[in-house]
Structure 1
Amino acid sequence: MVEGKHIFGPVASRRLGRSLGVDIVPLKVCTQNCIYCQLGIDGERTLERKEYVSADVVLEELKERVGAGVEADFVTFSGSGEPTLNSAMGKIIDGIRAITDIPVAVITNGTLLSDPAVRADCCKADLVVPSLDAGDAETFGKINFPHKDIDFDVFVDGLCEFRREYSGRMWLEVFLSEGVNASDEQVDKIGAIIERIGPDKVQLNTAVRPTVKETALRVERERLDEIAERLGGNVEVVV
């Protein structure tokens, strides 16, 4: 694996196979401060979109990697923070298309999909994997600690609107934490929202690596399987 400043990997991903990462925001610059984040406790929660890293810099680094013969199943926007905060993301995706035919994936917490410009950028990707970790505003606050100006209902509406506009693959990730959002009541609320969104696939996840907050408790595999069955449809456990 080769590490660059903004391009890293390929890394072995449980969901995406060989993933060549694209990191386009500074460390912990995000719209949320989730209890299960592995990048540290306190980051800069912001809703400001700007060109944190220029498209030209990222694409030049990608050209070098592709020219060196890198092989990957996806070029994946992920890494240090929330990638949709970079206002150049759409331009970068366009540039990736001109460099390689490797499919593009965006892993996002989904909180900015209420913004039409963000939806337009994400619609350029082959696969978008947003998150939904709560069935109501109270639980949303407990597990995701969003920026104070993020409204849960607006967030959910953004996910629904994106699904209507997007013709690519949409996989919805649900991170489950024991004692926070893994009860039958909470799962049923999440399930009702999933029905509204209509993703192609739902992936259940839980803490498998060290997290920075003690409240991010692992849900056992047997319970994850029960939740998958309760949700029904195209649901898989990815831990």
Structure 2
Amino acid sequence: MQTVLFHQTIFGPIHSRRLGTSLGVNLSPNDGKVCSFDCLYCEAGYNAQGPGTTGLPARAEVGRLLEEKLSAMAAAGDRLDVITFSGNGEPTLHPDFEGIIDDVVKIRDRYFPHVKISVLCNSTRLSDESVCRALRRVDNNILKLDSAVESTMRLLDRPNDPAFTVDALIPRLVAFGASAIIQTMITRGSHDGHRIDNSTDAEVDALIEAYRRINPASIMLYTIDRPTPERSLQRVPRERLDAIAARIKKETGIKVSVAG
């Protein structure tokens, strides 16, 4: 079974297809996975591998490790574009997420004031006001919407909470509006005998309707780039991604970026 990608709380910098030179913040365990989705395409593997033994990093430890890293990078004159909350699961599940965001903003301002702070969020915790407050404080609030078709979302993202639905999610995304960036994974394949393809015209129709309602600052389309737990999943050709992006931009007027 594929296992976690990141064995440190602060990792990188790495090159991100979407964000540039990125220093990662992993609020999940260093030896396990904690997530409210169990996506077929997750590069960190399935949730079945378990949460590991190290536990979630403490707020003070996150701040200490980040300050050490940024201090060293600033002294060395290193380049940095973004600090990105990502890692081995969903960062907003951390019970001190809001406080950690406050700490990271202060530390960023001390060493790299022009660097952006990004959170890659699967949107499952938008019913929590503390999480929403924290997300509104970052530069790039990147929220997931992989499909506006309920059956496809459930097959591809596999939410842990049966009450999590597209119909419940979209109004929460609407509440963020232009302060949000919506990210959508486009892929094809099958799982347990069910065909999955959110690149079809019908899927794009549903996404366009949702994007219109949300009216985000921009949309990020991307496809798989590394091995996935569900091995049948395929990269969608760049030509198809570009065609989907062009249609979305034409029909919504929203800026769309593509990482193929």
TM-score (structure 2 length as normaliser): 0.81
Q: Structure 2 matches for 1:1-239, cutoff 5 A?
A: 5-26=8-29, 27-43=32-48, 52-70=56-74, 71-100=79-108, 101=113, 102-147=115-160, 148-163=162-177, 166=179, 170-178=180-188, 179-232=196-249, 233=253, 234-239=255-260
Distance in 1, Cα, partners of 2:18 & 2:209: 24
Query: How much has 1:117 moved relative to structure 2?
Result: 1.8
Query: How much has 1:216 moved relative to structure 2?
Result: 2.1
- Cα deviation 1:154-209 (Å, max 9, x = unaligned): 12221111227x4xxx3211111124211100111011101111111111111222
CA contact (8 A) 1:35 1:215 kept: no
CA contact (8 A) 2:198 2:204 kept: yes
Q: For residues 87 and 198 of structure 1, do their structure 2 counterparts lie closer, same or farther at Cα, with a shift above 3 Å needed?
A: same
Query: How much has 1:84 moved relative to structure 2?
Result: 0.5
Unpaired segments ≥5 residues, structure 2: 1-5, 189-195
Distance in 2, Cα, partners of 1:77 & 1:187: 28
CA contact (8 A) 1:29 1:43 kept: no
CA contact (8 A) 2:23 2:84 kept: yes
Superposition RMSD in Å: 2.1
* Counterpart code for 2:186: L
Distance in 2, Cα, partners of 1:15 & 1:67: 25
Task: State the identity as a percent.
Answer: 34
Query: How much has 1:44 moved relative to structure 2?
Result: 7.8
Distance in 1, Cα, partners of 2:90 & 2:25: 11
Distance in 2, Cα, partners of 1:230 & 1:149: 32
CA contact (8 A) 1:30 1:44 kept: no
TM-score (structure 1 length as normaliser): 0.88
Query: How much has 1:98 moved relative to structure 2?
Result: 2.1
Unpaired segments ≥5 residues, structure 1: none
Number of corresponding residues: 229
Distance in 2, Cα, partners of 1:4 & 1:138: 34
